[in-house]
Structure 1
Amino acid sequence: MSDRFDYARMQATATRLLGRFKQGRVTVIRTTQAEKPDDWPTWQPWEGETTTNVYELDAVVKGVSAKLVDGDAVVATDLELTCSHKMVLVEVDGVAVTPAPVAFDATLLDTLNIDGRPVTIVRDLTVPAAGMPVAHRYVVRA
């Protein structure tokens, strides 16, 4: 038996459990803009075509833990969101698509929706903090 901890197995377990016990609908909404051509004049604003993708997460949401509240970055009215390392593309530009898993890459710059309400990620508490992520914990604010 190896002395190394099997993080891939733990990630699979977390994904299975969070998929089973997920609460409501938690989505990541990401709008991207087409790249500006290399020969585009620098003085002209670029208004390239945008695409909005909606990704669904298996997640649970609760009030933020008291130990995380510092009164500055994290306040008592924030929420704590825990999600698996799984994102599923469900919508492109307002049109539903066949659900397709994609690599997890939600960041502090993304907007999350919890049951249709937009929230902003204010703190990333991915578990573990380094190496292969087992689950993702975020402090979010409406």
Structure 2
Amino acid sequence: MAGFYDEMRDMATELLGEFKQGRVTLTRTTQAEKPEDWPTWEPWTGETTTQVYELDAVVKGVSAKLIDGNVVIASDRELTCSHKMTLVETIVGDNDPVVSSTPAEFDAGLLDTLSIDGKPVTIVRDLTVPGAGTPVAHRFVIR
């Protein structure tokens, strides 16, 4: 069955790449690890690295069937993206950005920021398709 989902992922990646809307990005900022011998009373201000990934995505109004009035409200939107993301920019510390076009598999964490046309959004609900196993596409309710 894994072959079926791999084929579906490839199809979703192709379609979302062709019909993507606007500029949807995922920004990840990490900080250099603190040395083991660093004094616990000293604040750690290690160098940060910010990576910006571009996503092949479409955005629409939230489906009526998802609106519950509590977690999901009528003004929310749905973002659907492929399992592919492209590293487009890396900034280390205060240095100038390094531009690239390195493909990567989709990987979003709680501390990452999704933006649509430069405006950050909040993920309200994760509706990755399918809910388990090999992901074909990623769907989020956003606000």
From 57, 60, 84, give the equivalent of 1:59: 57
| TM-aligned CA distance change 1:118 to 1:18, over 3 Å | same
- Within a 5 Å distance, the mapping from 1:126-141 to structure 2 comes to 126-141=128-143
Look up the match of 2:9: 11
Paired residue secondary structure (2:14): helix
What SS does the aligned partner of 2:122 have?
A: strand
Residue 108 of structure 1, CA deviation: 3.6
The one-letter amino acid of 1:43's match is: W
TM-score (norm 1): 0.91
Give the direction of change, closer, same or farther, for the CA distance of 1:20–1:35 in structure 2 (3 Å limit).
same
Residue aligning to 1:72: 70
Q: Mark the CA change 1:15 to 1:59 in structure 2 (over 3 Å): closer, same or farther.
A: same
**Counterpart residue type for residue 120 of structure 1:** T
Task: Report 1:1-142 matches (<5 A).
Answer: 6-93=4-91, 95-141=97-143
* Alpha-carbon distance, 1:88 to partner: 0.4
Q: 1:68-120 CA distances to partner (integer Å, 9 max, x unpaired)?
A: 11222211111100000001000112625220011210134321110111111
Q: Which runs of 5+ in 1 are unaligned?
A: none
Pairwise CA distance, 1:47:
1.0
Give the share of equivalent positions with the same residue, in percent: 71
CA distance in 2, matches of 1:135, 1:4: 15
Structure 2 unaligned regions, length at least 5:
none
Structure-2 separation of matches of 1:109 and 1:101: 21
- Comparing 91-100 and 30-39, the one that deviates more: 91-100
Please tell me whether the aligned partners of residues 2 and 134 of structure 2 are also in contact (alpha carbons under 8 angstroms). Answer: no
For structure 1, which segment, 52-61 or 105-114, has the greater mean C-alpha deviation from structure 2 after superposition?
A: 105-114
- After TM superposition, what 4+ stretches of structure 1 lie above 6 angstroms from structure 2? none
Q: Does 99-108 or 81-90 show the bigger shift?
A: 99-108
SS in 1 for 2:18: helix
Q: Is the 8 A contact 1:57 1:87 kept in 2?
A: yes
Code of the residue aligned with 2:5 in structure 1: it is Y
SS in structure 2 of the partner of residue 15 of structure 1:
helix
Distance in 2 (CA, whole Å) between partners of 1:18 and 1:26 is: 12
Cα RMSD of the aligned pairs, angstroms, is 1.5
Aligned residues: 139
